[in-house]
A = this chain, B = another copy of it.
């Protein structure tokens, strides 16, 4: 399936009308069935769908890794994915999206889903990167973000090595999906993530931070902002979070020792 479609659009520029061909990002409603039951309909860009599905299932506690998927059948035309997992993660499936913690339940004051509280732990890592390395990687990734170059639409996420190499980069209409694609890829490839940095164009909200924590990634950097809740979670989980990484500067919100000036 194409991930970009061409359309004729009307550009109005300083009062002048011009009809032109433009490229629009495809948004595919993809319904995920897990062990025969409909689980969720995601809106996504049809690239690296196997990575997306694996990363999503991992983030939601429905798969522990690539080996956990006995079957993975993707029908792009129908917009359906059928997954069979080797082990049943019934609690995670049952609790998906449900708020099950309120204040007072141990670490529950800042977690709002019980599976997040159970599946995350403090990330331990000796990773050190320089701010210049991160900024150079962000500057250089324009060439790899092909769909953005064509449409100006998707978010992207990438896994960076300590030296600033881009191990993989994924784009998606949804910033959550771009992160899930990168995590899914790392699971399939068997890459260590504890010595890597996740960089993203999207904001670091609590949901993104929790994905990063579950994937055991010690550093997350965004071109955009981070929310207060994401920063509180990063502080608690030992994750270095940085934002507004643009040009020659960035802001480090938590555990700044991992980012060298």
Q: Which residues of A contact B (CB under 8 A)?
A: 4-5, 7, 9-17, 22, 24-29, 31, 38, 40-41, 43, 78-79, 97-99, 102-103, 112-113, 131-132, 151-153, 173, 203, 205-207, 224-231, 244, 248-253, 256, 259, 261
Contact = CB atoms under 8 A, between A and B. Distances in A.
Given A43-B207, A99-B41, A251-B9, A24 B261 contact: no
A14 to B, nearest CB: 5
Contacts of A231: 7, 24
A40 B113 CA distance: 11
Interface of A is mostly: mixed
21 contacts: A5-B228, A12-B131, A12-B252, A12-B259, A12-B261, A24-B226, A25-B225, A25-B227, A26-B229, A27-B205, A29-B99, A29-B112, A29-B229, A38-B98, A40-B97, A41-B97, A43-B205, A43-B229, A78-B102, A151-B225, A173-B227
Contacts of A99: 29, 31, 38, 41
Nearest to A148: B225
A9 B252 contact: yes
Nearest to A23: B228
B41 A11 contact: no
